[in-house]
Structure formats: structure tokens, C-alpha cells
Structure 1
Amino acid sequence: MEQRVLPCTVCHGKQGRATPDGYFPRIAGKPAGYLYNQLRHFRDVERRYPPMAYLLSYLSDDYLAEIARHFSELQLPYGAPAPVTVSRAQLARGEQLVQSGDAARELPACRQCHGAQLTGVAPFVPGLLGLSQDYLSSQLGAWRTGQRHASEPDCMAQVARRMALEDVQAVAAWLAAQKVPAGGQAAAGFTHTLPLACGSLDVRWPPAGRAGGAQ
């Protein structure tokens, strides 16, 4: 599998650690179910990025699951966060939204779904740390404008559409400025009721399989 996923590392960096500019995100150590969902969405053109669709178009669910497991098991060190490029007021607003949310806008705290340490929750919820400010803001912006989709009900789209553009920038800046806790591993599961229904949590894992594709 290490040889088979070399095309992935062309963009996502050696062992999936991410590229220096952070535009292509780190995939090493992400929860397997989350990676599987993203691979499936790219293959089925539910998440639009032609190079990914081209690479994955003939791969079966089982094979995508193998790729997802491979990268999820790569527990590699994280680099130091990039220097902060926003004001203290923006950082404070970002921290507020991440840690406490905003009841007036019906925005849940990021930590309610992405884990108390923001390192994700297995098997389907990704961590938010160790990602660049540009990547985070671009993905939140894509959900906010309808360019990115997830399985219905699309909880991230609901959250992003309630955020002002300034909130998107503040959250992305604060998250990108945080150090990843030692290990950076996702929590084993939820111990509380989530604030929104999320279709991405209802996918069968491990998958039942799909006819055809590489084995």
C-alpha cells in the first residue's frame, strides 16, 4: 500500500504530512472514516476537484477504505504553527467561536463536534489543528457558499452559512495558530449529544463494498 499511495504524496507531501504552503492538507493520522468519506465524495464527484476524481474514479469502496486506513495509521509529528497574521481582537473572536460558539447566531462551538482537544473524534470527525489558515478559511468559505458538500444533513454547511466572513477568518486564524497536543490523536468517541444532526456520521464503517474497481 505504501507504494500504491505514492500518487497521493505528490500533492499531500511525504507520508501525507502536507505541503509546506499547507494548501494540500495533512492526511496522515486523520480518522479513517473521515478519510474514507472524502475519498468517496471525490470519486463520486460530490466534492469537486478534478485531479482527485481522476485518480479515484475506478476504485471500489473497499480499496478506498484500505487507503484511508493506511494514512490514518501514520502517527507522525506535527510541525510548529505558522506565525499569527491577524489582530488580537480577531484571535479572541476566533477562540470564542471555537471554544464556546455564539448562541445569538445559533453557532455551536467547534469543540462540541471536533473534540475537546480539537484533534477529531474517531472514526468520522477530523481534527482542526495542524492545518494552515488559508486551507481552513478556504474550506469554511466553500461550505458557506455551497461549493463544498457533505452527506445530508450537511451539518458543516449549516454552521458555515451562519458565520459572517469575519468569523470565518477569525476561526481559521486562531486554529492555525494553535500547537497540536502531543500525539494529536482523535478521541475514541462522543460522550455527549451533538448539537446538529450530521449525515457524515451515518456512513457504514467499515464499508460493505462496491462492485468493480481495483482490489
Structure 2
Amino acid sequence: MAERMAACTVCHGKEGRATADGYYPRIAGKPEGYLLHQLQSFRDGQRRYPMMNYLLANLSDDYLQQIAIFFAAQHPPYPPPVATEASATVLERGRQLVTTGQPAQRMPACAACHGDGLGGVAPGIPGLLGLPKDYINAQLGAWRNGERKAKAPDCMGEIARALSPEDINAASSWLAAQPVPPDYRPAAAPPKPLPTQCGSMGPAVSKPGTMGAIP
């Protein structure tokens, strides 16, 4: 199986642990459902990156699910966080957004969906630690600008549009500065009902392709 994943690990690093420069994100240990949804989104054009769109264009759901299962089962160690250049004020603002949100504006905390330990929740919510600041910034910016979309209701798009660029920078800075604990794993279920509806949490719709399951 690992040999079949070479097309993925050449960019995403050995076992999907990400590359040293952080340009391509870590996919190891992400929830299986989340990985499958992202693969389907790239294949179907809902999420755009030319190399990913091309590589996945003709792959079946069965094949994509085998990719998701493989990388969800990988748990290589995380590197220590890169030293942050953000000020204490920026980091505190980021901590507030991530852990408590903005109740007065009905803005849920990141932890309300991504888990108290920010490790994600199976089957479809990813963890937020161990990602470079620039990557988090870019993804939130893409949701805010409509470049990245998910199935309606697009909860991340709605949340990102309610954040200012300064808040996005603060949240990204704080998240990227946090060390990843050794037992970092997605939770089996959310501790309480999610504060907002997310279309991407629904069941994935099968779509036949030209390639079958990976043996």
C-alpha cells in the first residue's frame, strides 16, 4: 500500500507528515471522513489546486477511500512548533478566538467543533495543531474570499467571513505556536452538539470513476 501512496508522499512527506517547508500540509492522522471529503472536493472541482485536481480527476470513491484510510492510520511524531514572531497581544487574541470565540457576535470557538484538545473529531473534523501559520492563514483567507468552498451550509465560509484579517492572523499565530501532545488524536465524537450546521459533515456521495479500490 505504501508504494501506491508515493504520488501523495512526494509532496506531503513520508507517511504524510508534511514537508519541512510546510507548504504542503500534513495529512497523516487526519480523520478518515475528512480526508475522503477533501479528496472528493479536489476531484469534483469544489476545491481547486491544479495538481490535485489533475491527479484525482478519474479516481473512484473506493480508491479515494483507501487513500483516506491509509493516511488516517499514520501517526508519525510532530516536530516542535516554529518560534512565533507574534506579539503577546496578538497571541492572546488568537487564544480567545480559538478557545472561547466571540459569544456576543455568536461566533463559536474553534474548539467547539474541532475538539477541546483541537485534535479534530471523527469522522469529518480535522485537527488544527501542527500546521504552519501561513497554511492556516491561507485556508481561512480562501474561505473568507470564496476561493475555498464546502457543501452547503458552508460553516467554515460563514465563520471566516465574520473574521477580520487581523483576527485570522491572530488565530493562525496562536494555533501554529502550540506544541502537539504525544497522544494527539481525533476524538471519537464531539463532547456536545456542534454549534453550527456544516454540510461537509453529511454523508459523502459516491461517484464512480475509472479506477477501483487499491488492492
After TM superposition, the score normalised by the length of structure 1 is 0.96
- 1:55-100 CA-partner distances (Å, limit 9, x unpaired): 0011001110000000000011111000011100000000000000
- 1:164-211 CA-partner distances (Å, limit 9, x unpaired): 10000000000000011222100001131111100111124xx6x433
Q: Which residue of the partner structure matches residue 214 of structure 1?
A: 211
Q: Which residue of the partner structure matches residue 184 of structure 1?
A: 184
186-195 or 171-180: bigger deviation: 186-195
- Mapping for residues 18-167 of structure 1, pairs under 5 Å: 18-167=18-167
Q: Which residue of the partner structure matches residue 3 of structure 1?
A: 3
Counterpart CA distance in 2 for 1:127 and 1:14 is: 19
Q: Do the aligned partners of 2:114 and 2:120 also contact (CA within 8 Å) in 1?
A: yes
The alignment's C-alpha RMSD in Å is 1.0
- The offset of 1:213, in angstroms, is 2.2
Counterpart CA distance in 1 for 2:183 and 2:68 is: 19
- The offset of 1:214, in angstroms, is 1.2
- 1:126-173 CA-partner distances (Å, limit 9, x unpaired): 000000000000000000111100111100001000001000000000
- The offset of 1:212, in angstroms, is 3.2
Counterpart CA distance in 2 for 1:189 and 1:57 is: 32
Unaligned runs of 5+ in 2: none
Aligned length: 212
Q: Do the aligned partners of 2:61 and 2:209 also contact (CA within 8 Å) in 1?
A: no
Q: Do the aligned partners of 1:31 and 1:125 also contact (CA within 8 Å) in 2?
A: yes
Q: Do the aligned partners of 1:29 and 1:75 also contact (CA within 8 Å) in 2?
A: yes
Counterpart CA distance in 2 for 1:121 and 1:178 is: 19
Say which SS state the counterpart of residue 166 (structure 1) adopts: helix
